[in-house]
Structure formats: structure tokens, C-alpha cells
Structure 1
Amino acid sequence: MTTEVLAPVPGRAVALSEVPDPVFAQGMVGHGAAIDPPHTVVEALAPVSGTLLKLMPHAYIVLTPAKVGVLVHLGLDTVALNGEGFTTHAAQGDEVTAGQLIITYDVPAVVAKGLNPVVPVVIMDEREPGRITQRADGEITGGAELFVATK
């Protein structure tokens, strides 16, 4: 079974190991890829179709019909902002389509607080980095294929 994961935001696709946060870089949450977004306000999209299992201002998880959970985390340590810089456009429990707008992400507001705006995108609980094939390297548009996960 393969799961195609789309880029939730535009920017520069980077390996998850390059994220300056050990929880993400070492795959403790799961494996995937990351995007360094432009320093503008961007739309954060659903990376896959499914149920919006968890929705916080700075992060969300979409659960596919095949029960693959994909986490999108907007910036590092952004939970401390208590929603500042994020506008949600969906509700927890909603059925969403890949490419659908979930959150407007004010990258300059996050950068102004001294936080890293990088966006890790991971398959929850994926312990095998070899099951992730990164499709993008360098500039990517929101909604383009970021990586494929195989089970």
C-alpha cells in the first residue's frame, strides 16, 4: 500500500534529518520530509484526503481511509504562540480532500517571535525511514507531491 503525501505549503523541500529539532530529525514522531516556507503568509493544505483527526492552530493530523496518519507541524515550538499567526479554516472531525485549505500560516509573525518556521510533514508512528521516498528536493509548490510512504 502506498500513500502519496502532498506538500501542505510551498517552499524548499528538505530532508527531515535537516530539521533543527531532534524529535523530528530523529524520526521520534515518525518519518517524512519537511518544507522551509517562504517568509510570507501561506496557505497550509491537507497533505492527504481523509478525516481531520486532530486540529490545533499550529498543527494538524489527517487520517486516511487506510488509517495512515499524516502530521503537519507549522514551525518549531509554535505551540507556545497559543494560536497567534494561525487561522484555521476547518474543524476537527471534518472530512478533507488532499489540497484543501486547513490553516492560513503567517510565517513572518512566527519568524518575528524568533521561531523557526520549517514545516515537518510526517507519517505518524512510522519507524522505518526506508518506507519514505522523498519526491521533491528544492523548491516545491503547495499541493505538489512531497513524498510517498509504503507499508
Structure 2
Amino acid sequence: MTTVLAPVAGTVIGLVAVPDPVFSQAMVGPGTAIDPAREPVEAVAPIDGTIIKLHPHAYVVVGDDGRGVLVHLGIDTVQLKGEGFRLLAAEGDHVEAGQPVVAWNPATVEAGGRSPVCPVVALDASADAVHVLAEGPVSAGDELFQWA
């Protein structure tokens, strides 16, 4: 069982509410999404593991069990080419759950006409393997879902 933590504070809204079909239809995997607080924040690692992909707007942490969790900071934020994001870790780093990975400001993303919603996805998991624990408001580091 892997417990996945909320990477940012905000309100849990579920993947179906994400304004991008790749996430809302769970094409990359099951999970949930957080509508983040509109303030500068440090997005944290959702699990203990190694950062295998790190873009300013998204990152993947893979645990020792081989399970990967994708955190995507906003929708269409790849178009920002890193502007407004500051890396606090590097690809290949081993991180503990709750350790800061990327600093960003969801309000700035929203002001630029993009959704700041943050999908958190269990990569290559079956839909029935993920049990969402959190509803409503969460703080960064709160238990978000369990992956059986």
C-alpha cells in the first residue's frame, strides 16, 4: 500500500473536474486533483522516492516499489516554458514525502488565463487500485489517496 500525500494546499476536486481530457478521463492513470490556494507555494513530493522527471510545471516521483506519482502544476502550464516556476530539487534526487520540489504561484498561472488545478496521478495503476481519502480542503502533506 502506498499513501500519496497532497503536494499543495487547496480543495480536492477529483480528476473529472480537471479541464483537460488527458486527466479528466484518467488517460495517464487514476488519482485526484486539487484546486490550489491562490498564493505562492512550494509543491512537495507526494511520496518517498526518486524524482525521475522534473519539468518546472510537472514532476514524477518513483518509490522504491517502482510506483510513480505524477504531479502536474496547472493545466497547459508547459506553455509557460518554466516562467513563474522555481525548481527546488533536481532529477535524480531522492526525496522524502513532503519535501519541497517546485515553488510557484497558482494565482499567477490563473491570471495568465490558465487553470491552476493540480492533477495527482498514480501512473500505470488500475482504477480500482486507488482509493481517494481526502475530500474538501487539504494542506500540503495531508493524505490524499492510497494505492493498493
> Under a length normalisation based on structure 1, what TM-score does the superposition of the two structures give?
0.96
- The answer for the alignment partner of 2:45 in structure 1 is 46
- The answer for the alignment partner of 2:19 in structure 1 is 20
Report 1:119-138 matches (<5 A).
119-126=118-125, 128-138=126-136
Are 2:105 and 1:84 equivalent residues in the alignment?
no
The letter for the 2-side match of 1:80 is Q
Question: Quick check: 1:37–1:119 contact (8 Å CA) kept in 2?
Answer: yes
How far 1:43 sits from its partner (Å)?
1.2
The letter for the 2-side match of 1:97 is E
- The answer for the alignment partner of 1:109 in structure 2 is 108
The letter for the 2-side match of 1:145 is E
Question: Quick one: distance in 2 between partners of 1:106 and 1:83?
Answer: 12
What is the CA RMSD across the aligned residues, in angstroms? 0.7
The letter for the 1-side match of 2:63 is T
Are 2:80 and 1:97 equivalent residues in the alignment?
no
- Unaligned 5+ runs, structure 2: none
> Under a length normalisation based on structure 2, what TM-score does the superposition of the two structures give?
0.98
Q: Deviations over 1:36-93 (max 9, x none)?
A: 0011111100000000000000000000000000000000000000001111100100
**% identical aligned pairs:** 51
**Structure with more strand by fraction:** 1
